[in-house]
Homo-oligomer: A and B are copies of this chain.
């Protein structure tokens, strides 16, 4: 992992979607004194709310924000609820129907590009918010995948690039707990798969987010279409 005592303190590229996990990660890295280079990917999401959150947060923090528009490669990717007109499945991530939300190999694509960016910026590492809640259905969020990607990133260029995933074995509740301890304002994030004025409170992302707030005894500052958020 990143050595705080390293006299040559290299920047860290962070994959920052604008959602709550990567928002917490970004702020954690800043709180540790890192020079942070946030990069967001525009891959044809159904809506731009997360990216807009990311842009605003970076602006307010005075960070150089790189948005990589990779929509042109959409033709290569398979069908996905996140990028097509298929209905967004409701319920828990762990449900089988949430598989429809998977963009095949998305994390490998984003990590590869982030590593290229890290090399070009002489950064020492790429951080991303893989966490335990996603292990069940996203193969590219599992420890096995991360370990193997770290092995690749160590030899793909002249200088090794590390991959940092401090939340790899945390669930969303614990990530939020850290963020609340850091005093973060989660109204600066967007999680809902739908891009309407208020969060829907019913999609897998909303359900998990609301559960994390409930488990921390807090109320999500975002407005929801449903009365108290999720009705599950």
Contacts and interface: CB of A to CB of B under 8 A. Distances in A.
For A66, A79, A148, which residue has the most chain B Cβ atoms within 10 angstroms?
A148
Interface residues of A, number: 41
Contact of A105 (B116, B139, B149): B116
A75 interface: yes
Dominant SS at the A interface? helix
A59 B142 CA distance: 41
A113 B109 contact: yes
Interface in A78-108: 78-79, 103-108
Interface stretch (A23-31, A155-163, A183-191): A155-163
A158 B111 CA distance: 18
- Give the 4 A-B residue pairs with the shortest CB-CB distance, closest first: A78-B120, A104-B119, A105-B116, A112-B112
Contact of A152 (B69, B149, B157): B149
Q: In the assembly, how many copies of this chain are there? A: 2
Contacts of A145: 152, 155-156
Given A75-B66, A139-B157, A140-B157, A108 B119 contact: no
Nearest to A106: B116
28 contacts: A66-B75, A68-B72, A69-B72, A69-B73, A70-B73, A72-B72, A73-B116, A77-B117, A77-B120, A78-B119, A105-B119, A108-B112, A108-B115, A108-B116, A108-B156, A109-B112, A109-B113, A109-B116, A111-B112, A139-B158, A140-B156, A142-B155, A145-B155, A145-B156, A148-B151, A148-B155, A149-B152, A151-B152
A144 B139 contact: no
Contacts of A68: 72-73, 75-76
A63 B142 CA distance: 36
